[in-house]
Structure 1
Amino acid sequence: MTSIDQLDFELLAKLTVNARAGIAELATDLGVSRNTIHMRLRRLQETGVLMGFRPVINFSAVGMPVQALVSLELDQRRLANVVEGLRGLPEVLEVKIQAGREDLLVHVAISSLEALQVLTAAIVDIEGVRKTTSTFSVATPIPFRVQPLLDHITTGTGWGRSTPAPTDL
């Protein structure tokens, strides 16, 4: 397990707002050297804390206004086959293995409810899928976020070994 401190939190917070921010800009904003930012970013990436920089897509703007969570019950011996089948469906955004009644939770973006019906039929055709149950997203009052969790786990950790926390943040 990798521990992160308040400086890591502030760095990640800045990147959450603007993943395209440069090292010099981040260093200036956080009141530390560019080398410190560079080393922190490298450590966060090498330890797997920071897994990449991705754009946030407005699916409605690209013609995919319907998002759904499709729960799958599987023949557990066919898990790998089902995952590979789902990987081949472009509307599948994410697949999570679950504990509980359903085995997989599949997040999809589609153009219409009719398209969801076609997609779920394609999912059921994957060998090993026994049943699907769909739940639709009608709004997202709290979009995906990490800042409150990072703030919680870094409270009281300080700003690293040699740099005191700035007083004006």
Structure 2
Amino acid sequence: MMELDRADVALLDALQKNNRLTSEELSELVNLSPTACQRRLKRLRAQGVIEADVSIVSPKAVGRPVTMIVLVSLERERADIVDRFKAAIRNTREVMIGYYVTGDADFLLVVTAKDMEGYEQFTRRFFYENHDIKGFKTLVVMDRVKASFALPIDN
């Protein structure tokens, strides 16, 4: 874990709320000069503290209003099978989030679709054609209550 000072924490908190803030706006929030803010941001990005700068897009606005949470169990938990499935997750656009987990399932996926017919086509292609998958359970999201990647940061 990297040591973060009060200014780093303030910068990260501000950016997690709005990553479009200008250097001048950030400087006012964290009591540093715009140049100092830019130097710190460059360092935080270079050290991997900031992984990416993204925008949260409305699924409805882009025609993908159906979201599922899918619990996936593998036939066997061998390193090559797990690695192959991780690669499949990374290379599949419909999978928005993928976690390798403990418990009753091996993976938890968040999947998007245009409609239920589109999700069914996805399941046929992604799950049924993969012989390494023992089974999967789908939970259909009725309402997105919160969409965030903001982490609470303690100093």
Give the TM-score normalised by the residue count of structure 2. Answer: 0.85
Note the residue ranges of structure 2 that are not aligned, 5 or more in a row: none
Deviation string for 1:131-152 (max 9, x for gaps)?
11111211232332525x22xx
Distance, in Å, in 2 between the alignment partners of 1:127 and 1:82 is 11
3-state SS of paired residue (1:21)? coil
Structure 2 match to 1:120 = 123
Task: Name segments (4+ residues, structure 1) moved above 3 Å.
Answer: none
Amino-acid identity (%):
23
1:102 aligns with 2:105: yes
Equivalent AA in structure 2 for residue 127 of structure 1: H
Opposite residue 107 of structure 1, the aligned amino acid is: V
The 1:51–1:88 alpha-carbon spacing in structure 2 relative to 1, beyond 3 Å, is closer
Q: Distance in 2 between matches of 1:51 and 1:135?
A: 29
Secondary structure of residue in 1 paired with 2:144: coil
- Within a 5 Å distance, the mapping from 1:30-41 to structure 2 comes to 30-41=30-41
Q: Which has the larger radius of gyration?
A: 1
Normalised by the size of structure 1, how large is the TM-score? 0.79
Unpaired segments ≥5 residues, structure 1: 155-169
CA distance in 2, matches of 1:39, 1:88: 34
Which residue matches 2:96?
93
Preserved CA contact (<8 Å) 2:56 2:147? no
**What does 1:38-117 correspond to in 2, within 5 Å?**
38-74=38-74, 75-77=76-78, 78-117=81-120
Identify the residue that residue 23 of structure 1 maps to in structure 2.
23
For 2:115 and 2:28, the matched residues in 1 are separated by 46
